[in-house]
């Protein structure tokens, strides 16, 4: 099918819902890694968790048309390999023709809504492994936050292990994003120290009955000098996550640059930092990130 315009998306969804499956099945696919062995993935799975803020804009990601325009702009930039998103966003992008020749990762567990009392019991309410396979995607991403004081973390951990197994059974990548977390004044906070990230990597690496298709998506540690020791905690391929929008973009880029020098770090998976940069120049932000690779 031919790509549609953003203004036609709702009409197509209402009158031709089968067009979504057609667009996904007919898109041009590519290997996970290109010739340079690197991955530059644009992430946009935050809204499904109710996390709509970016920097000082609390509802930055609330306008879906604006988000899709930013996503399409980012995906057109040279060196951008693909996208990570929930089904609603991935399907919109497929209808728009924005996924041609791109790696597409489906976001799976979105049940741990931001700020909810059950946030750590992060149920798999998004893509299932069979959905990812049937939609002709290239892998699934799961978030594993572990709070030793919250029993919900065990439920998340068990579900994550089964998701790793099922994705591997379909021959698909499992991208695991692990954190050691705790509640501070009632809010879930991720521990970004090198020691905590190392511990989370060790736990995530052992999930499931095979790690053959498991990748890790990890943050850059606050104590950046220890990033090499952090990555040495596993032989699994890793990518760096972008995290919150920083007012000091240059500092963020320098942190990524240092980490990307490590041989086991294969790329970046970044969302808000590139889609909603402080100066709102999406193209320039994406080009800078690609340049770091």
Pairing status of strand 173-184 against strand 187-190 = antiparallel
pLDDT of residue 2: 58
- Confidence category of residue 223, pLDDT binned at 50, 70, 90: low
- Are 86 and 105 in contact, with CB atoms under 8 Å apart? no
Q: Across the chain, what does the average pLDDT equal? A: 92
pLDDT of residue 113: 92
Q: Which residue has the tokens 């990570």?
A: 84
**Which token pair is 189?**
């906070």
Encode pLDDT of 39-79 as tens digits: 999 999 999 999 999 888 999 999 999 999 999 999 999 99
In the chain, the percentage of residues whose pLDDT exceeds 90 is 80
**Residue 152: pLDDT above 60?**
yes
Distance of CA 89 to CAs 13, 93, 166, 191, Å?
13, 6, 23, 29
Q: What is the DSSP letter of 122?
A: -
Q: With respect to CATH, is domain 6-292 assigned 3.40.50.261?
A: no
pTM: 0.94
Residue spans of the domains in the chain: they are 6-292
- Residue 49, CA atoms < 13 Å, CB-side half-sphere: 24
For residues 273-286, give the mean pLDDT.
93
Q: What is the DSSP letter of 48?
A: G
| CA nearest to 139, candidates 164, 108, 106 | 106
Encode pLDDT of 168-210 as tens digits: 999 999 999 999 999 999 899 999 998 999 999 999 999 999 9
**Residue 117: pLDDT above 60?**
yes
Q: Which residue has the tokens 């989370």?
A: 200
Kindly report the number of other CB atoms within 10 A of residue 244's CB atom: 10
**Which token pair is 71?**
């996503």
Give the three-class secondary structure for 18.
Answer: helix
CB neighbour class for 24 (10 Å; exposed up to 12, middle 13-18, buried from 19): buried
- Are 244 and 56 in contact, with CB atoms under 8 Å apart? no
What is the spatial distance between Cα 259 and Cα 26, in angstroms, rounded to a whole number? 36
């Amino acid at each position: 099918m031919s790509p549609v315009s953003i203004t036609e998306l709702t009409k197509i969804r209402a009158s031709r819902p089968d067009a979504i499956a057609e667009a996904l099945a007919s898109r041009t696919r590519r290997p996970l890694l290109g010739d340079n062995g690197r991955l530059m993935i644009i992430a946009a799975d935050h809204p499904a968790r109710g996390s709509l803020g970016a920097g000082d804009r609390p509802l930055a990601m609330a306008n879906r048309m604006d988000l899709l325009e930013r996503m399409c702009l980012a995906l057109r930039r040279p060196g951008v390999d693909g996208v990570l998103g929930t089904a609603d966003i991935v399907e919109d992008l497929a209808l728009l023709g924005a996924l041609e020749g791109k790696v597409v990762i489906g976001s799976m567990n979105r049940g741990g809504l931001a700020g909810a009392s059950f946030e750590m019991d992060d149920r798999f309410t998004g893509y299932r492994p069979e959905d990812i396979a049937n939609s002709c995607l290239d892998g699934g991403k799961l978030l594993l936050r572990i709070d030793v004081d919250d029993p919900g973390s065990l439920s998340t951990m068990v579900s994550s292990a089964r998701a790793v197994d099922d994705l591997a059974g379909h021959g698909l990548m499992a991208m695991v994003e692990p954190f050691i977390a705790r509640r501070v004044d009632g809010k879930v906070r991720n521990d970004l120290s090198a020691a905590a990230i190392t511990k989370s990597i060790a736990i995530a690496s052992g999930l499931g009955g095979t790690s053959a298709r498991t990748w890790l998506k990890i943050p850059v540690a606050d104590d950046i000098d220890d990033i090499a020791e952090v990555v040495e905690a596993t032989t699994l391929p890793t990518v760096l996550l972008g995290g919150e929008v920083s007012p000091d973009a240059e500092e963020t880029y320098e942190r990524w640059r240092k980490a990307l020098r490590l041989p086991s770090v294969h790329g970046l998976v970044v969302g808000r930092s590139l889609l909603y940069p402080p100066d709102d120049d999406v193209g320039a932000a994406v080009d800078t990130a690609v340049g770091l690779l």
